[in-house]
Structure 1
Amino acid sequence: MPYVLPPEVRAVVFDFYGTLVRMVEPLPPDHRAIFDRRGLAAQGARWGDQWAVGPGEGEEHAVHSAAENDYHRWELDRLRRRALDCGVPEHELDGLVEEIDRAMKALRLELFEDARPVLEELRAQGLLVGVCSNWFWNLEDCVEDVGLGGSVDVVVGSARAGARKPHPLIYRTLLERCRLPPEHVLFVGDMWAPDVLGPLSAGMRSVHLCRPDPAVLGSEPPLPDGAARIRGLGELLRLVTSGAAAGPGDCG
């Protein structure tokens, strides 16, 4: 039986990276080049995945999210602790972690082709449109920079909310900002736990986006009740306007 969008849905909220935008070249510099330039090649080899240094999925950090300076200090402290664990001398720490922090945030983002027209059409239909993402403090600026500022009503990022999806706090913050009960909100994203299971547990409906050219590889488990699956945002418009969505087997 096809998924039917409940008529009470009044807002559609999107994940950001992998759903609305992807990373394009030039890519951020590899951390090993930063270590090598400072004569710390051995420590750089111990660092591991340069992206696995931020808060973990579902992590709560509200105490560090009271203000931008507090959050940035916490980000640098995490990098500093990891650098120490890798054997970086203390006199090298400050310069190294500040450069790594800048490099990690030097992202060039590009909209998926279907993002802007879909968001604009949803707003034209009278729906509230939001973005909710695990992101740095500057999510609002990034939404503006990619050209979506005029197409989005509500922006909620994990850095300011104090927790990363799928922690309940970020969804509570989202619903408060939308000023809607959860059953009136549809959440759309490409990641299974943050964008499907988390919103469902908060009482929202969800749509799992499985692009044929994904920015992030993810799993495609069987869909639970209250969720649909689409291959592109254009299918979301058909779901909203006609009440039909792709079935579980339609995402390759």
Structure 2
Amino acid sequence: MSRAAATAFAELWPSVDPDRALLAGQRFRADPEGYFRAFTRGELDFATMRTRRVEAAARFLGHDVPDGARDRFHAAYEPVFQRLLRAYDDAVPLLHRVTGAGLALGALTNSGRDYTAGKLAAAGLDRLLPVVVTRDTLGFGKPDPRVFEHACSELGTRPGETVYVGDEYDVDVLGALGAGVRAVWLARDEPDPALLADARARDVPVVSGLDELPARLGF
């Protein structure tokens, strides 16, 4: 996301220093204004969310928003994003391991339906996830417990017998626990010490990679 956004910002504002554009791309990914969270809650549609994030980048870079900015951003961003998007090396083996063990498997994401379908296809995961619940399924997303409950109903499982693995502590871990779903925190980078302490206090397993899950969960 950061590199694709930096490419798009360089197209919108050609005079921007490349290092500054990359900083803006990283900021786009971090979304400090919380526009993606508002989209998740159903307060913004995707187009408005994307427009506001481009406008936030303009403010950060000190430029005006040009005409057609959102469409121009999309045209420059998407090819780079799709080209760079790939699954982690441990993703496909884990998905095969889960299905081979006879376990129900699905994905729950705060991204939109069509956008998720494109990302899964680009990453080669579209045929490996029989159930995909997105923000568009109910009109809102994580951490609302209702989306976790709905995902369980789509899997045909009860929340208490379902495990949710996610990398965002507040949205994924706390959201799953709030729905009565077992949670595993995927912390590929060094986790925040305070969040790590909270995870341990809640008896939430913490893994640095998906290859650790079979041993931790016993399948």
Query: TM-score higher than 0.5 here?
Result: yes
Q: Does 1:98 align with 2:76?
A: no
Greater displacement, 164-173 / 176-185: 164-173
1:144 to 107, 121, 137: 121
Compared CA separation, residues 58 and 238, structure 1 to 2 (3 A):
farther
Q: Check whether the contact 1:165–1:198 (CA below 8 A) recurs between aligned residues.
A: yes
Which AA in structure 2 matches 1:229? V
Gap regions ≥5 residues in structure 1: 1-22, 65-70, 243-252
Q: Does 1:78 align with 2:52?
A: yes
Which AA in structure 2 matches 1:142? K
Q: Check whether the contact 1:208–1:227 (CA below 8 A) recurs between aligned residues.
A: yes
Q: Check whether the contact 1:196–1:206 (CA below 8 A) recurs between aligned residues.
A: yes
Which AA in structure 2 matches 1:100? F
Q: Number of paired residues? A: 200
Q: What corresponds to 1:126 in structure 2? A: 102
Q: Percent identity?
A: 22
Instruction: Give the superposition deviation at 1:87.
Output: 7.2
Cα distance in 2 for residues equivalent to 1:234 and 1:80: 36
Q: Check whether the contact 1:183–1:203 (CA below 8 A) recurs between aligned residues.
A: yes
Give the superposed CA RMSD: 3.4
Gap regions ≥5 residues in structure 2: none
Q: What corresponds to 1:154 in structure 2? A: 131
Q: Does 1:50 align with 2:28?
A: yes
TM-score by length of 1: 0.64
SS of structure 1 residue aligned to 2:10: helix
Which AA in structure 2 matches 1:187? Y
The higher relative CO (CA closer than 8 Å, separation ≥ 6) is in 1
Greater displacement, 146-155 / 181-190: 146-155
Cα distance in 1 for residues equivalent to 2:191 and 2:133: 22
Cα distance in 2 for residues equivalent to 1:112 and 1:40: 32
Which AA in structure 2 matches 1:128? A
Cα distance in 2 for residues equivalent to 1:160 and 1:103: 28
Q: Which has the higher strand share?
A: 1
Which AA in structure 2 matches 1:98? D
Q: Which has the higher helix share?
A: 2
Q: Check whether the contact 2:40–2:135 (CA below 8 A) recurs between aligned residues.
A: no
Larger Rg: 1
SS of structure 1 residue aligned to 2:163: strand
2:147 to 152, 159, 170: 170
